[in-house]
Structure 1
Amino acid sequence: MKREMDCSEARERLSDFFDGEMSNEVQMAMADHLAECEVCAQELAEFHDLSQMTAALEHPLPPPGLWDSLEAQLAQADGVSAEDLAAAEPFRWTTGPFVPLVMALAASVVFAIGWIGYQSNLNMLNLAISADFDQYFNVLHQDPVAAQQLLLAKYEGQPVDAESAVHLVGYQPTIVNGMPEGYAHHSCNVIKLPNGNAVHCQYLRPDGSALAIFEHDGERPAWFGDRPATEAVHGDTKLKMVDLDKRVAGTWRQGDRHITVVGAHDANEIGQLAGWFGERTDVIDQ
């Protein structure tokens, strides 16, 4: 029997859902509820916005010893010993021969702190994206509608066809123009991810199982977190495969963009799709 969830429970579990800290059964119940309840879906969107704002306030301190290390390196490069640099009178830090050294040192420290902050925020963002997609992977083969709602609940998106997608992503998506025989179109939408929009389509096989295909700019390793990727070659196409436990994902460069397949039965299915898209692109380009 399918588990149901009311608004009271959904609101209590928003944080766990956002962090991916719940069982697949509860995730699916939550996703089903969010698909039907605009109020709870809006609260989740606000929770997501608040989380991003909080992450943006991060101001990590530089690692211990950074200042001493930079000071020693700059002093050595300028022919001044670290002892002389430390003993310099205060006014000489702002006048005289020490000015270029001080300016270079200050710029280095500012850059280092800024870089550390940028990397920290980027890592937090990638972890959040990885958690979101991990939920998606776990739910897709059981309930594609719930899986789709997982992404739409966290990232603004809207249904599209080939024509409307052009206005949202700025190009004619390859994946909305059809699939090989044996894949029935289920849905297509554009999702607004932090690192760029992606076209997301779902297809159903004759056995009822789902396959998802994303078209996007650049590689998206953050989607797969710490899952290891293996490389393969199909014809002239270089593929990266990721094991999703019960299914397989694969990504490759297709023209100016990348295509990522999620929910394939095996690497052979991904290779066949890569070949099919490659042939279709060649025909379009001629």
Structure 2
Amino acid sequence: MRTLVLCDGEARTISDVTLRVVSAALQLAQPVDLLVFDDASAAAAAHVRGVERVLVASAGAADTLAPETVAAQLQSLSAEYAIVLAAHRSLGRAALPRAAALCEGAFIADVTGIRERTQFVRGLYAGSVVATVASAAARTFATVRPSSFPSAAAEGGAATLVPIVPLAPIVPFAKTRLVERHASAQSGLDLGSARVVVAGGRGLASQDNMTRLGRLAANLSAALGASRAAVDAGYAPNAAQVGQTGRSVAPDVYVAFGISGAIQHLAGMKDSKLIVAVNKDPDAPIFSVADVGLVGDLFDVIGALEAHVQSAEQHV
């Protein structure tokens, strides 16, 4: 049997998110195929290292399709695949459970690790419990947390040898249609793929201070994140929220300024490789997961970092 990866992202490109799902699929030690929804993406998909076949659906661009249409497409392909993977984003979360129901298969959400071909690791209760879930179904559909896996190489595959297979058209689901799309406001690097994340909490006290932190993040080539409290207070857009009800990230370095560390926030960032916390409260819960903790005024620390960055720029 084979593994199928659902491409997620803009047309004509293979997003970093998809490359991370391909990396997860390769851990299953089965041939990996990639399903794309436009001809322009097929050529790029054929270059991805580890992909053995590219399937091209003709129902339309993935980001404009109804999840029912994507689910029907997956159902039509299910006989060839034991496992279907997608990123734990809106497309995968909506389409894969539907496909699993149509195929009488199993659905597993937000996978953070793969131990064996039929064993998947995921968090429960806001990440306070890590469960290994075994699937006995003939078909398993799973969404993958992209930040938990490295990116597969976008180049290096045998592009000239990878077959690109056009699929028979699927009749689009007509009872719902996309009327309008409003993208969440986000500036700078994408939270899900950034190697360094600088995040601010309610301790920043104003939107202006969050903007200041954003400039520091940009100078450090980092993505800007925020706690839910900071987002609710209007300091940062929803797209920047890290936590159980926001984005889950696992960067190489996560630096938290003025974030107390509620369990909902920790659920979204505790898998970071190095966690640095700055807070004036020595009993803040975030210090329990921090590798480096600094008790002090966050504005003093931000000022010192700004001075250090400015000094480094002057010597370049």
**TM-score bucket of the superposed structures, by smaller chain:** under 0.3
Structure that is richer in strand per residue:
2
Normalising to structure 2: TM-score of the pair?
Answer: 0.25
Work out which of the two has the higher radius of gyration on C-alpha atoms and give 1 or 2.
Answer: 1
Q: Which has the higher helix share?
A: 1
**How high is the TM-score relative to the length of structure 1?**
0.27
